[in-house]
Amino acid sequence: MVLERRARPRLRRPRRLETSELTPLTALACTALLARAAADTGAPDGLHHLLLGGPDLGALLADDARVALVSATGSVRMGRAVAPRVAARFGRTLLELGGNNAAVVAPSADLDLAVRGIVFAAAGTAGQRCTSLRRLLVHEDVADCLLPRIADAYRGLTVGDPFADATLVGPLVHRAAHDAMDEALAAARRDGGTVLAGGEACLTGEAPDAAYVRPALVRMDRQTTVVRTETFAPILYALTYRTLDEAIALNNAVPQGLSASVFTRDQREAERFLAADGSDCGITNVNIGTSGAEVGGAFGGEKGTGGGRESGSDAWRGYMRRATNTVNYSDALPLAQGVTFL
């Protein structure tokens, strides 16, 4: 009798590298919540351990043969450093890296719905989530109607204290992120782009040590290097297209492949975008923004995003090891190919 078992990994084996060294308080808060949940459910002690540190600590975990799986969330640069080190010792990686996510707005789109979905996906959390909307691909027939509406919405966004109910846009994580946003906007202008709204610093008097900025909407006439590069800040580059095939090509013409969406009321357009030769992203949505990831769906992407998957019905498989067990309950032992030697 041959049994194939998905064996439980030992508790010491899985590790997850996700928390940025820039946000230790968030890590501590999440750890406290997890500890409370574990205590309420009777989970064994030592199920979860929090290690706070920078790249040196990450390198130690990547190199340690006792860590069977390194699941890492971060930049493409981080993934390129981690993956070869883990592979060199035949360990496994599950990588969730960069995202340069695009939304396509077709001529048939419900523009009221599209404006809400686009603004939230691009400006929510100050553009600091891997599924934030970075590129807007608008059909040329609706661009002159849609873009001013988005610009007006950007001008009306409340930027400030993230604990306040009316605030949609809080601060960038640090001053370096603000500098990177300024550099990207300067590069976009050099490439012929026009800033339609936003980009200016906010609350410089009230919070001089923080990095508050109004989300920026930039119209581009082509997908330049800065557009194809993920800037972890609230910049939305808007381009126009003529055919759906052109929009799909623009969507796919970046190194990352995490999330994409299409706003359309034409079922054929939606199915074309979802097809195997449509969007090349791990997450593709219809009539919602790119940030609409659901806990029940597999989360992750292709190409420079790393190819790993978290969440979803079978995400647990990545943390398990397969084992094939053959059990002989008889007193006979037939050999392969009818071999006999005793």
Type of residue at 236: L
Identified catalytic residue from 130, 230, 269, 281:
130
Active site residue 130: yes
- Please provide the DSSP assignment of 58-114 as one string: HHHHHH-TT--EEEEES-HHHHHHHHHHHHHTT-EEEEE----EEEEE-TT--HHHH
Q: Do residues 178 and 203 lie in contact, with contact meaning Cβ atoms separated by under 8 Å?
A: no
Using CA atoms, how far apart are residues 69 and 192, in angstroms rounded to an integer? 45
Using CA atoms, how far apart are residues 255 and 227, in angstroms rounded to an integer? 11
Identified catalytic residue from 4, 96, 202, 206:
96
Type of residue at 179: D
User: 143: helix, coil or strand?
Assistant: helix
Residues with Cβ within 8 Å of 190's Cβ and at least 6 positions away in sequence, in order, are none
Which residues sit opposite 326 in a β-bridge?
2
Q: Is the dihedral of CA 295, 296, 300, 302 positive or negative?
A: negative
Positions marked active-site: 96, 130
